[in-house]
Each structure stands twice: as structure tokens, then as C-alpha cells.
Amino acid sequence: MTRIIFMGTPDFAVPSLKRLMADHDVIGVVTQPDRPVGRKQVLQPPPVKQVAIDNNIPVFQPEKLRKRDAIDRLKAMGTPDVYIVAAFGQILPQEVLDIPAHGSINVHASLLPRWRGASPIQTAIREGDSETGVTIMQMDAGLDTGPMLAKRALPIEPDDTGASLHDKLSVVGADLLAESLSGILSGQVQPQPQDDALATLAPQIRKQEGAIDWSQDAVVIERLVRAFTPWPGTYTTWDGKRLKVLSGSVVSGAAAPGDVVERGGTVAIGTGDGLYAPTQLQLAGSKAVSVEDFVNGYGDFIGATLGA
């Protein structure tokens, strides 16, 4: 039975870990430290840690795996056949990658070399891609630059959000990993180099990127809202308060960017090209409501201009 140390942190990594636990010997889990969550900043364990604890698997939570003491601690966990990495959240130094006999393998949520980096799921939606997928790759010291071992494509549906696509890809990744791992370890699967000329970068998302620029086209805004659901969310300002835009669609028509208008019984907002019709809104300090309920509660919303 293959001895594995698994490295991962968020929900995306959980299906892969569970599939490995069913078929192999997971001798340890490496994940990020517990982080404060919510208004009360209560420390919460990463989802991967909770799965490991529930199954009596040793857990190591280094703040930085590049440090000497962290590497020594990792080596003390034993020498596995392979490291499997899925959304771990840290770049591994070459010394770490070389510890296992078969190196280190990563489950990445894009069709490499497109969308290397931290936010491939959101970026694929935001950029209007028609498909994405998962790549199983041999890791090197670069940012998702290693040779590819297996790929599986998945269409991006018109109503996909960052959340729905995340959930689909986490399962696709777990399935592809389970199906290809034995061939990878036996040498039957030959690594294929990435074409760096085709590489694109999906960097970490900053919260301020969720601010809606109404001068952009409606289709761009619609993709942004879907991509940033549930995190970091998209927002504008109205009446001096932050107004979260939780969902909506593109409708025909025109109005000045940011102007709230009524068109055929639909509340819509002017953009650089076309209208964006929100379906769910949330004003700061209030709960999320349908746009109909919002307008019923705030009669002066129609006719307002949103944004700074």
C-alpha cells in the first residue's frame, strides 16, 4: 500500500484526502495553522485538519514550511512514497519536494498552463472561459510550473459561481487523482512539459477587487459577481453604505453607469455597455433580500446612482 503524506488546507482538498484514505496509507497530514474566523475571531481548524483528526492521522501545521525547523519536523514524520498536495497554500522548497521517493504531486484546479496561481477557479469565470478543469502535475519549485501527468476538462455553465465550480472541481480532482495515481507511481504515466508561452497567471484575490466599476460592460460585471461568490463578494455603495450585490443577470437596454432604473418591471443598473439586473442585494447591517423586497423597503433606490 502506498505511503502518503497529504498537504492541503481548504474544503477543495477534502475529497482528494478522503479518496486517498480509502485506498492508501496516509501517514500524515500537513496543513495551514488554525485561523481566527468571524466577528469574534474564534480560532477554527482548516477542513483538512478536521478530517485528519477524525481519522486519527497525525497533523503538522507549519506557519512557513520553508524554515529549517519545519523541514526537519516534516522529515521526522517519515519518508512516504509520495507527497500529494491540493490547495495547501504555500510554495514548497525543492528540498521538501525531493523528500519522497516519487517526489511531490499536485492537484491543481485549472487546465495548465492556463491559470497558474492561487485563484484559478474565480479567474476562469471572471475571464469568461467556456471550460476549465483539473491538472495533476509533478511539482517543482516554481508556481504551478511542473510537468503535467493527467488532465480532465469541465465546462463552465452560464450560472456557475465560484462556489459551484469549486465544488465540482474538487470532486473531479479527487476522481482524477485516484484513477491516475497508480500509473504515475509505476512510471506508466509519462510527464508532459508545460508550454510556458501559453501560461497565464491567476494571482491571489484581494478584497477590494470586489468593488464594482459600473463603467465596465454588464457582461464583465455579471461574471465578476459569479466569480466572487461567495468570497470575497462584490459590492457598491448607496446612500453612504456598502451594498453587496449577490446575484443578477445582463438585460438589454442602456443607462448611465451606476444609475438605477426600471425597465419593463425589472430593476436594472446602468453600465458601460448594457444593463445589469440584480436579483439579490444586501445592505450593510441588514440581511440579504430579493431585489423586489429591497425596492419595497427602500423606495428611493430607483433613480439613485451607485458607486463612489
pLDDT band at 37 (very low <50, low <70, confident <90, very high): confident
In 3D, which of 136, 141, 149, 143 has the Cα closest to residue 109?
Answer: 136
Is residue 94 packed enough to be buried (19+ CB in 10 Å), middle (13-18) or exposed (0-12)? exposed
Residue with cell 526537519: 72
Answer whether 237's CB lies under 8 Å from 213's CB: no
Is the per-residue pLDDT at 38 higher than 80?
no
Asked if pLDDT for residue 131 goes beyond 70, the answer is yes
Per residue in 166-207, pLDDT (tens digit) is 999 999 999 999 999 999 999 999 999 999 999 999 999 999
258 pLDDT more than 90: yes
DSSP code for 198: G
Instruction: Using DSSP bridges, classify how beta strands 42-44 and 148-155 pair: parallel, antiparallel or unpaired.
Output: unpaired
C-alpha cell, 163: 462556489
Find where cell 444586501 sits. 282
**pLDDT single digits (tens) 3-23:** 999 999 999 999 999 999 999
Whether the CB-CB separation of 120 and 109 falls below 8 Å is answered with yes
Residue 129 has pLDDT above 80, yes or no: yes
Give the pLDDT confidence of 261-296 residue by residue, as tens digits.
998 788 999 999 999 999 999 999 999 999 999 999
Query: How does DSSP assign 77-122, residue by residue?
Result: T---SEEEEES-SSPPPHHHHTSSTT-EEEEESSSTTTTEES-HHH
For residues 45-72, give the mean pLDDT. Answer: 96
Letter for the amino acid at 21?
M
Compute the mean pLDDT over every residue in the chain, rounded to the nearest whole number: 95
Determine the pLDDT at residue 295. Answer: 95
pLDDT classification of 41: cutoffs 50, 70, 90? confident
**Number of neighbouring beta carbons within 10 Å of residue 277:** 20
- In angstroms, the CA 236 to CA 211 distance is 6
Compute the residue count for the chain: 308
The Cβ of residue 158 has, within 10 Å, a number of other Cβ atoms equal to 9
| pLDDT tens digits for range 227-241 | 999 999 999 999 999
Per-residue model confidence as pLDDT tens digits over 147-165: 999 999 999 999 999 999 9
Q: CA torsion 154→155→160→163, rounded to 10°?
A: 10
pLDDT tens, residue by residue, 209-226? 999 999 999 999 999 999
Does the structure show a pLDDT above 90 at 24?
yes
Residue 238: per-residue pLDDT: 96
Beta-strand pair 131-138/104-108: antiparallel
Percent of the chain exceeding pLDDT 90 equals 93
Whole-model pTM above 0.75? Answer: yes
- Residues 99 and 82: beta-carbon distance below 8 Å: no
* pLDDT exceeds cutoff 80 at 308: no
Provide, rounded to the nearest whole percent, the portion of the chain with pLDDT above 70.
Answer: 100
pLDDT for the residue numbered 1: 84
